[in-house]
Amino acid sequence: MKGKKFFSVLIVISVFLGITVSSEGQEIDSFYIRLLNKGEASFNAGSFRTAVKELKIAVFGIEGHKDLLGKAHVFMGLSYYYLKNEEESKNHLMTAVKLIGMEGVSGIDLKSDKRSDLSRILSYFGIGQEEPGAAPKAGTQPETTAASSEKESKDEAALTNKTKELNTYIKENPDEKEAYYELYEIYLKEKQEKKARKTLEDLTKQAPLETQALYLLGVMHFKERNFKRAEYYFSRISAISHSSDVSSEIMESTQALNILSYYFRGKKEKAYELAESQQSVLTEEKINQLDLGEKNKRVLAGIMKKLTK
């Protein structure tokens, strides 16, 4: 989880500091896989309401993976049926069939009594007699620009729903660090940076030694040229590093940005003092590897070179 999450951090930092990074081909975040598994376990334990809560969040992170998505919708469809919500049950089961077909739905691993129930429920709803997602018949109306706009509105609504679900989940599971990061990333996509920052601040209150969150907060303030506040978060990471392990990636970037913060704030003596202590780490090669943006790299390289004169 840590490795996957730190990769997400690097993408966020790169965007902040003006670097383009492709995120294509990334694996599903283990946070969502774990929630999918927890939802299935809750379902098998008969905790259908809990299963729905977990699976509703899981589906947001497994979009594009039809087999997993279809499985999640089957478990939600059955859960809603047992909770006596037939409308939601039917919607989720229809979605599952549309995603993976009747054969895929039938192949999902269920206990014998639940498999029998699934067969009866599908028949009751009339699902599977003509599978959704089949090839359209001749004369089917093509998608229009109005339909495309409607899809965009639905996507926006889905993101809003996701933030609501994650906020609820965090309230019920305040120690679930990954949920805070997921919520933070969604807020950034929605260009709601204040809410993104508040999410990280809430996490650091819950977990004061969470250096990844402290680092992201420092980066956000650095981007806004609030260098004094950025220094506060970077200094907290440095203090933590004296008694706890901090990843080298976070530590190297923290020191680099802290030097730049001092420098840009006019505290050049402190900037050079810190830079001198990092000479063995912040080599020219290392600076080029850091996600700082070209301008910041040039400034930092200039500071480090002056120390060798």
Whether the model pTM is above 0.75: no
| Residue 283 banded pLDDT, cuts 50, 70, 90 | very high
Residue 237's SS3 state is: helix
Which of 108, 131, 154 terminates a domain? The answer is 131
Q: 253 is in which domain, residue-wise? A: 208-309
39/18: higher pLDDT: 39
Burial class (CB in 10 A: 0-12, 13-18, 19+), 143: exposed
Q: How far apart are the first and last CA of the chain?
A: 43
In this structure, is residue 78 part of a structural domain? yes
In this structure, is residue 6 part of a structural domain? no
In this structure, is residue 147 part of a structural domain? no
In this structure, is residue 2 part of a structural domain? no
> What CATH number is given to the structural domain containing 116?
1.25.40
Domain total in the chain: 2
Asked whether residue 116 falls in the same domain as residue 213, the answer is no
Which of 88, 108, 131 terminates a domain? The answer is 131
In this structure, is residue 183 part of a structural domain? no
How distant, in Å, are the alpha carbons of 7, 175, 202 from that of 181?
12, 12, 11
Asked whether residue 308 falls in the same domain as residue 213, the answer is yes
Which of 131, 148, 168 terminates a domain? The answer is 131
Query: DSSP for 158-171?
Result: HHHHHHHHHHHHHH
> How many angstroms separate the CA atoms of 120 and 256, rounded?
63
Q: Dump pLDDT digits (tens) for 40-98.
A: 999 999 999 999 999 999 998 888 899 999 999 999 999 999 999 999 999 999 999 99
